[in-house]
Structure 1
Amino acid sequence: MIRYELAGPDLSEVRFAISPLNELTLSLRSLRDPGRFPLHLPWTRSVASADLDREALLALTNDRLWIPDFLNPRPRTPLSRLEDELEVVAATPPDRLRADLDAVHFDGGPPEVLSGRPQEVLRRVVAALRGYWDTCFEPHWQRMRAVLEADIVHRGRTIVHSGMAAMFADISPRVALADDLLTIQLVTSKVDYRRTTAGDGLTLVPTLFTRNPSTPISPEEPPVMFYPARGLGTLWTTDRPQAPRALQDLIGATRSGLLTLLEAPASSTELAVRLGVTTTAVNQHLRAMRAAGLLTSARHGRSVLYLRSDLGDRFIHATT
């Protein structure tokens, strides 16, 4: 059990962030054991034959799918850049590197590929991760990021409408906030500590490659919680939602499909992939529907996320 004492009467130190490195390293679980992540099978099949340093990449996890803490540094900004995060990894102190690798490979020590001089190990790890990103992640990152950003927008709306405790409860049954104490029940039950977030704050990082919330296993690490993002089921699928026939006749198949999908926030890029049309066409429809009051929009980072308005909700319900 991890317990974070949240500092500040308005919980203003709780912040959200997206980490490309976090997604990259946690995805090694899916690469190692695809059967545990069935929703990612379209992606894992597509990268199965990629030219990667698989020996180094797969050595960074174990049969329990643990990842060394030095590969998941707390994001320094809400929208971190992979290059900046890899620089942090490359600067990992030798003692920290050895301790984190030993913690993962506790039953016999790190594999040979991770047993050399620390600087050589780090160079190979960073190069392997860079190649993995370029080949397997960069072509899909815009879509992945859109799902992560939509999750953060959803969490923000929950906080506004229902409060911070409701937002945490919505993340997982393993997470609960009572007064100013946040408790996180890890799958690894042997980890147990309590610490304050005063001076550090608490960073919440949505991820597409975990099924349960997780935190650093050491109380010396800055407070951070990785949690499963909403919308994973839509990530690799192309949808043509069945909108009510009356709605299709009234505003057309594409716009009725958009209105049906936008029950949850999404970007134009994500919507284009799911509907199988161009982003340019989707943007034209979204602008017209927003101007008509059927949609609302909010900017997060470099993306604009759209959501059905109250009028859009009534429009949908009136045609069913």
Structure 2
Amino acid sequence: MTLLRLSPRALSRSRFALSPLAETFGALRMLTNPCTDPWLASWHERHAATFRARVASDRFAAGLVRLLVTASWLPDFVTLPPTGGMRTTLAQELDAVRRFSDPEIRTQLEASDQHTDIAGGLDWLEGTGWAERCAQLLDTVWRDHVRPDWPRRRALLEREVTYRAGLVAVYGWSNALGNMNKRSEWVGEDAIRFSHRPMADRVVGPEGMLFVPVTLARGTWLCEVPPDSFALVYPARGVAERGGGPADDRVRALVRLIGPVRARILLELSRPATTTELATTLEVSLGTAGGHITVLREAGLIEGTRVGRRVVYRRTDDGDRLAG
């Protein structure tokens, strides 16, 4: 078992962040494999073939992607803690990737190659300028496959952060982390278990650590910059379930009963959200979303709770019964 140890100050300064690099790395892994996530099924269908053809035509890219997808030990240059909080950009993160030297890249890839069940070696690692080539591959995946879908993804990730931040404010970090993923859990008052492997514990620095959601149904990894900067990447809550929901005939009945937009809002509120987040997800104006939220609230189907400057809406028991 390996722990992340946090002092009281580190815990108090821990926070959430977004990472386009983590989202891009997750997308790269998804595009390589069959899609099992209903929420991303249509995106995967549009992009997978193009991505795979591009990778197959480039020996360096093919070798790198194979290793990144199969290795249980990820290289540091794709697992960097974001530095811009909720406004982190991929350009910022790729600048950090490009600062790795060729010897550092080789050392990390050799470590990854020792933790994969698919033997392949590193004979594809030819020439020089490997950090730049890695950055170019990630930039291409972002530009062609992730960025067109980023508004939808970002809206979901911001909802996740709103939800978790509300839990932290009311119940503390231990409850907020309780169901982040199957591998991590709070241990005692000052540590997070993030791996069952018997490795040295990590000590989080006084600036705290970052929690970074991504739009993957499963998978989590630790980002670190020695000696004490860490970020835990985890699947946003409920992503895998968002493609499911009530049967079509019941959805149609709900639409007839309360109208299409109100029905969609009620179904979306299986996870708490703000008016802005709902408007973005449903692609309606802020005024339209607000008007329908008012009706649903007055009917006792949803309720709002203020979290900082935001009002977060969730379904009431009556709303849950109607949506089901």
Query: Please, what TM-score do these two structures have when normalized by structure 1?
Result: 0.78
Task: Quickly say closer, same or farther: Cα 1:115–1:33, change in 2 above 3 A.
Answer: same
Figure out how many residues of one structure are paired with residues of the other and give that number: 301
Task: Quickly say closer, same or farther: Cα 1:315–1:147, change in 2 above 3 A.
Answer: closer
Distance in 2, matches of 1:300 and 1:42, equals 35
Query: Does 2:278 align with 1:268?
Result: yes
Per-residue CA distance 1:96-122 (angstroms, 9 max, x = gap) = 22221111123664241x3321xx222
Q: CA RMSD in A?
A: 3.6
Query: Does 2:92 align with 1:88?
Result: no
Task: Quickly say closer, same or farther: Cα 1:319–1:200, change in 2 above 3 A.
Answer: closer
SS of the aligned residue for 1:76 comes to: coil
Task: Quickly say closer, same or farther: Cα 1:247–1:62, change in 2 above 3 A.
Answer: closer
Task: Quickly say closer, same or farther: Cα 1:185–1:241, change in 2 above 3 A.
Answer: farther
* Letter of the structure 2 residue corresponding to residue 196 of structure 1: V
Which of 252, 263, 267 aligns to 2:259? It is: 252
The Cα of 1:286 is off from its aligned counterpart by 1.5
The Cα of 1:231 is off from its aligned counterpart by 2.8
The Cα of 1:297 is off from its aligned counterpart by 8.0
Structure 2: tracts of 5 or more residues without a match: none
Distance in 2, matches of 1:205 and 1:319, equals 30
Identify the residue that residue 189 of structure 2 maps to in structure 1: 179
Distance in 2, matches of 1:315 and 1:201, equals 38
Alignment of 1:127-142 (within 5 A): 127-142=136-151
Which of 216, 226, 229 aligns to 2:236? It is: 229
Per-residue CA distance 1:157-210 (angstroms, 9 max, x = gap) = 222333321222211343222111222225xx35x1212213341111112236
Distance in 2, matches of 1:295 and 1:224, equals 33
Runs (4 or more) in structure 1 with deviation over 3 Å come to: 37-42, 51-58, 64-67, 216-221, 234-249, 268-271, 289-301, 313-320
Structure 1: tracts of 5 or more residues without a match: 273-278
Distance in 2, matches of 1:215 and 1:256, equals 38
Q: Which moved more, 1:240-249 or 1:100-109?
A: 240-249
Distance in 1, matches of 2:61 and 2:243, equals 23
* Letter of the structure 2 residue corresponding to residue 110 of structure 1: L
* Letter of the structure 1 residue corresponding to residue 8 of structure 2: G
Query: Does 2:49 align with 1:49?
Result: yes
* Letter of the structure 2 residue corresponding to residue 183 of structure 1: R
Distance in 2, matches of 1:182 and 1:53, equals 37
Task: Quickly say closer, same or farther: Cα 1:105–1:115, change in 2 above 3 A.
Answer: farther
Q: Which has the higher helix share?
A: 2
Distance in 1, matches of 2:3 and 2:141, equals 34
The Cα of 1:41 is off from its aligned counterpart by 4.1
Query: Does 2:158 align with 1:149?
Result: yes
Identify the residue that residue 16 of structure 1 maps to in structure 2: 16
Distance in 2, matches of 1:241 and 1:164, equals 40
SS of the aligned residue for 1:132 comes to: helix
Identify the residue that residue 205 of structure 1 maps to in structure 2: 212
The Cα of 1:225 is off from its aligned counterpart by 1.1
Which of 184, 196, 206 aligns to 2:203? It is: 196
Contact kept, 8 Å, 1:265 with 1:305, in 2: the verdict is no
The Cα of 1:128 is off from its aligned counterpart by 2.0
* Letter of the structure 1 residue corresponding to residue 33 of structure 2: D
* Letter of the structure 2 residue corresponding to residue 163 of structure 1: G
Distance in 2, matches of 1:257 and 1:45, equals 24
Distance in 2, matches of 1:153 and 1:100, equals 35
The Cα of 1:22 is off from its aligned counterpart by 0.7
SS of the aligned residue for 1:3 comes to: strand
Distance in 2, matches of 1:10 and 1:222, equals 11
Per-residue CA distance 1:277-307 (angstroms, 9 max, x = gap) = xx235x3431113445455487999xx8852
Identify the residue that residue 307 of structure 1 maps to in structure 2: 313
The Cα of 1:141 is off from its aligned counterpart by 0.8
Distance in 2, matches of 1:234 and 1:140, equals 19
Distance in 2, matches of 1:219 and 1:164, equals 23
Distance in 1, matches of 2:304 and 2:222, equals 34
Per-residue CA distance 1:64-100 (angstroms, 9 max, x = gap) = 4654221121011222111111111111233322221
SS of the aligned residue for 1:223 comes to: strand
Which of 127, 133, 136 aligns to 1:116? It is: 127
| Aligned-pair identity (%) | 23
The Cα of 1:264 is off from its aligned counterpart by 1.0
Distance in 2, matches of 1:271 and 1:218, equals 34
